[in-house]
Structure 1
Amino acid sequence: MTTAEPGVANYDHDFYLWTQQQADLLRQRQFNRVDLDVENIAEEIESMGRREKHSIRSYLFNVMMHLLKWQYQPDRRGTSWELSIHNGRDQIAWQIKDSPSLRPQLSAFIDDVYPSVRRNTAGEPGLSQATFPEQCPFTVEQIISDYWPE
């Protein structure tokens, strides 16, 4: 909202108060009120969806990076990599449970994230990008299940 009546929070100046007031108006079904900030509410809802996608991509990134390290640096395997893989898989599973519509998108997310995984993992001692395949060597199921590369 660019202007606000007295007592009505402005989106740009007090976001928290704005969220509380907008939620209250929605719960009261005050859909025709001039102070119901429909445009910013819609933008915030879309933003929440983007955050969900960003979050699951981040967990996929970490799982794939540690799976690559696990596969290509077997002599450096350790508890921290194992815990990171377990944690990432748990987080992905919980997000899919809460937002099942993300499950069919996992393959596309992996394709998007893998070039960064490959580049970042190549920063490890003794590894280069040429070490890793151009395409992700792990399937969706391998990434999210109890798969461990040899």
Structure 2
Amino acid sequence: MRALTPYETDFVQWSTEQSALLREGRLSDLDRENLAEEIESLGRSDKREIRSRMEVLIVHLLKWEFQPGHRSHSWQSSISEQRIWIANIIKDSPSLRRYPAQVFEQTYKDALPVAIRETGLRKAHFPSQPPFTAKEALEGRFWPGSPLSTDDFLRD
């Protein structure tokens, strides 16, 4: 039997070997510390993905609300896409259902400078507190600002 690949040497090979050890029931041969760390990182990865997608969602919702004359199908698509991705992550990991609301205020603060940069509007143009809730942001029928009209769209 050959020596196991160290975690630091080749992550893919190490992962393959660790999964084989698990399947074979060779628990005493597992790299328990690194394996536990990798399993924990899976949950952190989903949380990072939700935060990232919430930031993009908030930026586009702010642009939608505060630049109605620039609304486009690409903004609408991006908003819908972020909502779908977040919903799918939560569907796969229901324990994260409350996570978007937990990080919403901080994510809004992180999204605000991006919205300012992308719109060219002054910081004072945007509210310091979110003008919508996390629940609204994730709701497929919610569109901030004036009512949705196909006449409002610019062609992209």
What TM-score results when the alignment is normalised by the length of structure 2?
Answer: 0.87
Q: 1:73 aligns with which of 63, 67, 71?
A: 67
Q: For residues 70 and 86 of structure 2, what CA distance do their matches in structure 1 show?
A: 25
Asked if 1:102 is matched to 2:96, the reply is yes
Equivalent residue for 2:16? 20
Larger RCO, structures 1/2 (Cα 8 Å, 6+ apart): 2
Separation in structure 1 between the aligned mates of residue 69 and residue 75 of structure 2, nearest angstrom: 12
What is the TM-score normalised by the length of structure 1?
A: 0.90
Shift of 1:124: 3.0
Could you list the runs of 5+ residues in structure 1 that have no partner in the other structure? none
Distance 2:56 2:119 in 1: 18
Instruction: Give the superposed CA RMSD.
Output: 1.4
1:134 corresponds to? 128
Residue segments in structure 2 that go unaligned for 5+ positions in a row? 147-156
Partner in structure 2 of residue 86 of structure 1: 80
Q: How far is the alpha carbon of 1:58 from its aligned partner?
A: 0.8
Asked if 1:115 is matched to 2:105, the reply is no
1:116, 1:22 → 2: CA distance?
38
Q: Partner residue of 1:37?
A: 31
Q: CA deviation at 1:126?
A: 4.0
Structure 1 CA distance for aligned equivalents of residues 119 and 49 of structure 2: 28
Deviations 1:49-73 (A, max 9, x none): 1110000111111111100000000
The answer on whether the counterparts of 2:101 and 2:135 sit within 8 Å (CA) in structure 1 is no
Q: Is the deviation greater in 106-115 or in 54-63?
A: 106-115
Q: Distance in 2 between matches of 1:131 and 1:42?
A: 46
